[in-house]
Amino acid sequence: MGKVGIIGVGQSAFVRGYGGSIRELAFEGFKECMKDAQISVKDIDASIVCSAPEYDKQRSPAGVFAEYLGLTPQPTFYTESLCSSSSTGLKLAYSLIKSGLHDVVMVIGFQKMSEISSAESQERMGRGADIQWESPFGTMMPAYYAMYARAHMEKYGTTLEDLALIRVKASTYGQINEKAVYRKPVTLEMFSDPQSPMSNPVASPLRVGDCCANADGSSCLIVASEEKARAFSNKPVWILGIGAASAPVNMAARDLFTGLSVGEQAGRQAYEMAGVTPKDIDVAEVHDCFTIAEMMAYENLGFAKPGEGKDLIKSKETYKEGSIPVNVDGGLLSKGHPIGATGGSQIRTIVLQLRGEAGEMQVKDPEIGLVHNIGGVGLYGNVTILGRA
């Protein structure tokens, strides 16, 4: 069926409290995407809406969005895989096009997390774990990732400073990303200053500065068959490889606590499908919901050997000028994390990088980019490899 390309990308600003409805929030990413692709809604064969449920009262948002955005009577679908929902949406769009069922598919990711309190949000996230055996005991995302951080420290000698350096890098680029929630500088000294919120404990060893923030936001992608992509766009970015995996939901069934197996497995599949290796990746977006998550991603994706991810951040190899730039848009740590929109935002960043349209965040002449998007505490994992050739 030929190649599949991305011909349009869009994203709302990620904010702490969006004042409009979820359909208006979705429109923010949609309008940028449509302007980018310069096509008509009549050219879109189908749409996929992606989010995690129970953050707002609307059931079945796909139909609501299709009506509001003028995408009826074309079919619309709803999918969720927690924080990796919109990269799962891209995989489904790719599959629909490869099967020949559709030629042009829109993927809309959204989340309006401010409609409920922080405590309620933590409870919803906890229910991403097993509601029979784990979440009734009060599990929360920071505590889960704190277990991984502690295990990584015990096995590899990773330090609190190593983790803090990841947040310092995130703020370097978050300051120049107009879509980001957190645009203030973060220094290493803040993590040792008891007067700085960055140093406040959340779940030992993780501190406030090690954690991303909830946000409201939307993202939008337009995916097309090779024939349509070439007809509509003079700058398509091609999907070279897609990998996906899942892991046991209960921590007691996990056999790895110094990395996320879904990242390793999805990465391996994507590299094989694309016919590339980690050394071929010019720029990457990885799921940095916590600083330890980015550290583990370095190692799970083969950018560093197990235990050597800390050397990459210490030597600034994951900065824009380094050998493997990672999250040079600020990542989740600076952009914020509107669950259903996050994967689409990561994909947008890499598409702009490969087009040479990333502005101050632009990496020098990248040809191949990677997106690593995790759902839950390593429950779902998606890795997508994109190329301009």
* Beta bridge partner(s), residue 81: 83
Of 248, 327, 258, 345, nearest to 296 by C-alpha is 258
What does the buried/exposed string (b/e) look like for 132-155 if buried means 16 or more CB atoms within 10 Å of the residue's CB? eebbeeebbbbbbbbebbbbbbee
Q: Single out the catalytic residue among 83, 211, 212, 289.
A: 83
Q: Single out the catalytic residue among 102, 152, 287, 337.
A: 337
Active site residue 337: yes
Active site residue 102: no
**Cβ atoms within 10 Å, residue 311:** 13
C-alpha separations of 219 from 129, 143, 162, 343 in Å? 25, 28, 31, 8
CA distance 114 to 33: 24
CA distance 71 to 23: 13
Helices (H), the chain: 22-37, 61-68, 85-98, 118-126, 141-156, 160-174, 226-232, 261-274, 291-300, 309-314, 331-335, 342-355
Report phi then psi at 129, rounded to 5. Answer: -90, 180
Token code pair at residue 109:
């990711």
Task: For the chain, report the end-to-end CA distance as a whole number of angstroms.
Answer: 18
Burial category of 324 from C-beta neighbours within 10 Å (exposed 0-12, middle 13-18, buried 19 and up): buried
CA distance 25 to 181: 15
Which residues does the annotation mark as catalytic? 83, 337
